[in-house]
């Protein structure tokens, strides 16, 4: 049988929050803190580029919906989305609630980059990134509410959150 920890957790976990043909969402057995949720693909992928775009889009859609539920359910100060790829054969989105003084040590020290170095990296990336998606079908424009600056939750969004909470 599979020695994959993610598959084992997924199949034996009693803390499943959502599952469909493509993704699985559950509370990890080894949480970084209260309410730590994992969104993962059911299939294995050797590396990131082997996973189809639609699957990432779907996994992030689900992660976003779960995040909204988490933000309403656990009294957190914020939420980090940490993405793991390659290590365990599944792309994993970790939804990690953050609390004051949680000492999770996920800090880095952003500082102004060296302009010459930034330009060099841009040149290395842009030959590929500038033409990204040109030959692909882009999803239709985002729903109106995502264009707002998130100052308040619209009635529409609020309704969806309520609907989500009803899912057993």
* Contacts with Zn ion, residue ranges (CB under 5 A): 4, 6-7
CA angle 59, 65, 68 (to 5 degrees): 140
Task: State which residue, 55 or 79, has the beta carbon closest to Zn ion.
Answer: 55
Task: State which residue, 4 or 55, has the beta carbon closest to Zn ion.
Answer: 4
Task: State which residue, 6 or 23, has the beta carbon closest to Zn ion.
Answer: 6
DSSP string, 83-95: EE-SSSSS-EEEE
Task: State which residue, 7 or 92, has the beta carbon closest to Zn ion.
Answer: 7
* DSSP-assigned letter for residue 130: T
Smallest gap, in angstroms, from Cβ of residue 6 to Zn ion? 4
Smallest gap, in angstroms, from Cβ of residue 41 to Zn ion? 9
Residue closest to Zn ion, measured at CB: 4
What are 159's two structure tokens? Answer: 């309704």
Smallest gap, in angstroms, from Cβ of residue 92 to Zn ion? 10
Beta carbons of 59 and 65 less than 8 angstroms apart: no
Smallest gap, in angstroms, from Cβ of residue 94 to Zn ion? 16
Smallest gap, in angstroms, from Cβ of residue 30 to Zn ion? 16
Q: Which among 35, 68, 58 is positioned nearest to 153, based on CA atoms?
A: 68
Query: Coil, strand, or helix at residue 40?
Result: strand
Q: Which runs of E-coded beta strand occur in the chain?
A: 16-19, 23-27, 37-41, 78-84, 92-98
Task: State which residue, 7 or 38, has the beta carbon closest to Zn ion.
Answer: 7
């Amino acid at each position: 049988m599979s020695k994959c920890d993610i598959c084992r957790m997924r199949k034996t976990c009693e803390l499943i929050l959502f599952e469909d043909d493509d993704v699985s969402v559950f509370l990890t057995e080894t949480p970084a803190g209260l309410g730590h949720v994992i969104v993962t693909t059911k299939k294995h992928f050797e590396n990131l580029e082997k996973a189809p775009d639609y699957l990432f889009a779907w996994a992030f859609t689900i992660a976003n919906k779960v995040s909204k539920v988490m933000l309403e359910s656990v009294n957190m100060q914020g939420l980090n989305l940490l993405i793991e790829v390659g290590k365990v054969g599944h792309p994993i989105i970790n939804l990690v609630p953050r609390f004051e003084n949680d000492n999770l040590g996920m800090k880095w020290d952003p500082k102004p980059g060296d302009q010459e170095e930034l330009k060099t990296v841009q040149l290395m990336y842009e030959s590929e990134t500038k033409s990204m998606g040109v030959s692909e079908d882009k999803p239709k424009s985002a729903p109106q509410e995502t264009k707002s600056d998130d100052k308040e939750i619209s009635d529409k969004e609020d309704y969806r959150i309520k609907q989500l909470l009803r899912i057993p």
